[in-house]
Amino acid sequence: MKHTEIRSIETHETIAITCDVCKTRYDDPVEMQAFIQILKTGGYGNIFGDGALMECDLCQYCLKERLGDSLRIKHYQVGCRSVQIGGVVAGNIQKITERANAVFGSPEIASRWLNKPRKKFKDRSAIDLALTEAGAKVVAEELERIDSGYF
């Protein structure tokens, strides 16, 4: 027998991010999701110092301006949309897409489900949510619920 009680938990939620280059503050979740955070500890002989902690938050615009030609960008096709993503995220989206195809039995139905904004995902589409590791886990769990008949 499980014994439960209601507990309140306080959490810290990021409400905005300021770009360290252009100093622009972003509070839009889509813009915040596009930020690149650099958090690196320098090793032996590092020009910033041995063991130095280097941090930088870059908006997508400064990232493109500073590193645009040096970035390796891949495009992954999801339904009718083209999404620019990196290696790990591409693997997550491929797995999510394959699982959705299996759950719904049709790539067309799966694509509609993946691309339609849903209240369950706070008015985001499953594919947009899956652009982060945590979001991909939420989408995978939802697909398992649907496949098990719990929806």
pLDDT computed for residue 75 by the predictor: 59
pLDDT computed for residue 86 by the predictor: 54
With a CB cutoff of 8 Å and minimum separation 6, the contacts of 35 are 17, 19, 26, 57, 58, 59, 60
User: Residue 4 above 90 pLDDT?
Assistant: no
pLDDT averaged over every residue in the chain: 85
User: Residue 79 above 60 pLDDT?
Assistant: no
Token duo for residue 16 = 């905005």
Residues in the chain: 151
- pLDDT over 70 for what percent of the chain? 88
The whole-angstrom separation of Cα 16 and Cα 31 is 9
Q: How confident is the model at residue 80 (pLDDT cuts 50, 70, 90)?
A: very low
Predicted model pTM: 0.46
Domain positions in the chain are 17-70, 74-148
The region of weakest confidence among 83-92, 124-133, 139-148 is: 83-92
- Helix then strand then coil, in percent of the chain rounded to 5, is 45, 20, 40
pLDDT computed for residue 78 by the predictor: 52
What does the pLDDT look like over 18-64, one tens digit per residue?
999 999 999 988 888 889 888 889 888 989 998 899 999 999 999 99
The whole-angstrom separation of Cα 118 and Cα 126 is 8
With a CB cutoff of 8 Å and minimum separation 6, the contacts of 5 are none
User: Residue 83 above 90 pLDDT?
Assistant: no
Residue 121: name the closest of 132, 110, 111 by CA. 132
